[in-house]
Structure 1
Amino acid sequence: MDSRIWESVDQLVAWLDRESVLSPQEERLLRILKLSEEVGEVGAAVVGVTGQNPRKGVTHTWEDVQHELCDVVFTALVALRTLTPDAGRVFAERLAYVEQRSTASRREQ
């Protein structure tokens, strides 16, 4: 992953830490829970782009869905960085594991 992304994540975490009035334990939990909120916003955008709420009709675009998905990614990276200062390594190792697992799965087919 591009090192600029981790630099941005580090800056976001530092800013959130400076602004927080919560204990580190509470902050950690709430940053993880924030993912649920962001995923809900993705769902709301998909409902909005497909017009599944007849009362509201079409309220979003696929670009809105893309933006909400990015917010999920940002929030997950911030939560991961909050859990460990070595988030980049943890992410890279997990990505390598998933890649290896998916490659092995494709070979079995």
Structure 2
Amino acid sequence: MNDLFQQIRELRRRDERRSGAPDHVLELLLVTKVAEEACEAGELYRRSKGWGTDGPVTATTHQAQHEMCAAITAGLVALDRLCPDGDAAQVWADYLAYGYQRALRENTEAA
């Protein structure tokens, strides 16, 4: 997990440098980037199915997959920014463990 967040931190440093925004605006830019990328992923997925284009497929599943990866990456970059103590990996691990346990419990109860 640490290797993941080492890579995420480099991506964050790049994104912050590229933005040219003042420090107090960077968090907002990184957080809103998540929604932007997610919307693009949804649009590419829709187009890969030919929905809303009168049938023609104008994007590939591969493009939609990559855009979804961009949205997930943007989320992890934003999380890293929101964790000033450098504990984004732990916050992510805790949340994932919580979600997993909840899903496991609910799926067991539903079976």
> So what's the TM-score if we normalise by structure 1?
0.87
What is the Cα deviation at residue 44 of structure 1?
1.1
Q: Does 1:89 align with 2:87?
A: no
Residues 5-16 of structure 1: matches in 2 within 5 Å?
A: 5-16=4-15
**Aligned counterparts of 1:73 and 1:56: Cα–Cα separation in 2:** 29
Alignment deviations for residues 9-52 of structure 1 (CA, whole Å, 9 cap, x no partner)? 11111223334432323110111111111011111111211112
Residues 1:56 and 1:23: Cα distance change in structure 2 (over 3 Å)? farther
What is the Cα deviation at residue 73 of structure 1?
0.8
> So what's the TM-score if we normalise by structure 2?
0.86
**Aligned counterparts of 2:9 and 2:91: Cα–Cα separation in 1:** 15
Between the two proteins, what is the percent identity of the paired residues?
A: 31
**Aligned counterparts of 1:10 and 1:94: Cα–Cα separation in 2:** 19
How many residue pairs get aligned? The number is 108
Structure 1 residue runs of 5 or longer lacking an equivalent are: none
State the match for 1:30 in structure 2. Answer: 29
What is the Cα deviation at residue 55 of structure 1?
6.1
Residues 1-109 of structure 1: matches in 2 within 5 Å?
A: 1=1, 3-54=2-53, 57-84=56-83, 85-109=86-110
Moved more, 19-28 or 48-57: 48-57
Structure 2 residue runs of 5 or longer lacking an equivalent are: none
Which amino acid letter does the alignment assign opposite residue 50 of structure 1? K
Which amino acid letter does the alignment assign opposite residue 96 of structure 1? A
State the Cα RMSD in Å.
1.7
